[in-house]
Amino acid sequence: VTDHSSLAAEYVLRLLEGEELMEARRRIASDPDFAADVAWWEARLAPLFDEVGEEPVSPLVWQRIAEGLDGRPGGTVVDLRRKLIRWRAGALAAAAAAAVLLAIQLRPEPASVPVRPDATRPAPLLVASLAGEDAPEALTVAYRPETRELVITPARIAAPAERARQLWLIPEGGQPLSLGLVAAEGVQRRVLAPALAARFAAGATVAVSDEPEGGSPTGQPTGDVLAAGSLSVV
Amino acid sequence: MIRTAFFEGLSYPELAAQAGAPLGSIKSWVRRGLLRLRECLSQ
């Protein structure tokens, strides 16, 4: 069997010449076991034909190779081991080169065309849930950047007579910007001006304050903040 | 030597000439190497 197999390997490695080569070819045609051996060797040696595509050998295999080499002093064996190391180094270098080539190939081309909004992906939505610590006010605010549409859904808004509830956007590190008054009931939709819309971002705060009827006269909150929440992307 | 045979596509007589060793020795070295390689690759 061993003779069998090494002849197959010799054939795959194209070591054979003349009569031995003829013999191997005859046996591939006539001897299924031998043909299977040839296939076995081809499967294992073929990756070496293109070193670039070589897969790393499992550590177990290297361990067995190393064990086989160790404890066998002799010029030939030592030489073989040195060759083995060079072989491995060569394969690693080739693999590294392949990785570099792949990286170059995969590097995205500079974007010369403006990125088109992906129609298949749902547009992001900014949502804040506002609740008061001391006041019973509760509402949700949803903002769709695509359409600059703000949707206010009051859960519990109670404005005493001659008072109003005003909604504010407070960008991170910025001054409150009025989003208008909030009615006590019903879903309220409004389309924001672009300048205001541009300030909407995740992390910004949305708050409701207590204001005089008709809203804050100063453009900034004048009464208590009744409820607040921060915007997050959904 | 297997590597040389493999990457340089040398046959036994060419290997023997390159190594300056008798053809029979080359053959037995390579065969032994192949069998051990086979053991390492099996499992």
- pLDDT digit string, tens, across residues A90-139: 776 777 666 666 665 555 555 555 555 555 556 688 999 998 877 788 89
Residues in B touching A8 (Cβ below 8 Å)? none
- Cα dihedral A173, A178, A182, A187 sign: negative
Round to whole Å and give the CA distance between A149 and A223: 26
Residues in A touching B15 (Cβ below 8 Å)? 15
**DSSP, res A51:** G
The yes-or-no verdict on residue A161 having pLDDT over 90 is no
Dig out the tokens for A109 from the structure: 């081309």
A5 touches chain B (CB under 8 A): yes
Among candidates B35, B33, B41, which has minimal Cα distance to A45?
B41
- Alpha-carbon gap: B25 to the closest alpha carbon of chain A (Å): 11
Residues in A touching B2 (Cβ below 8 Å)? 13
**DSSP, res A142:** E
CB A141: neighbour CB atoms within 10 A? 25
Strand bridging mode A232-233 / A149-156: unpaired
The yes-or-no verdict on residue A2 having pLDDT over 50 is no
The predicted structure's pLDDT at residue A155: 86
Residues in A touching B36 (Cβ below 8 Å)? 65, 68
Interface of chain B toward chain A, CB-CB under 8 angstroms: 1-3, 5-7, 9-13, 15, 29-31, 33-41, 43
Give the A window 19-48 contacts with B, CB below 8 Å.
41, 44-45, 48
Q: Are B13 and B25 in contact (CB under 8 A)?
A: no
A87 touches chain B (CB under 8 A): yes
- Tokens 């808004």 correspond to what residue? A157
Compute the mean pLDDT over every residue in chain A, rounded to the nearest whole number. 78
Dig out the tokens for A140 from the structure: 């949700």
User: For A173-206, how does the pLDDT look when each residue is reduced to its tens digit (9 = 90+)?
Assistant: 889 999 999 988 888 999 998 889 999 998 999 9
Dig out the tokens for A62 from the structure: 């290297």
Who's near A138: CB < 8 A, 6+ residues apart? A130, A131, A132, A154, A155, A156, A157, A227
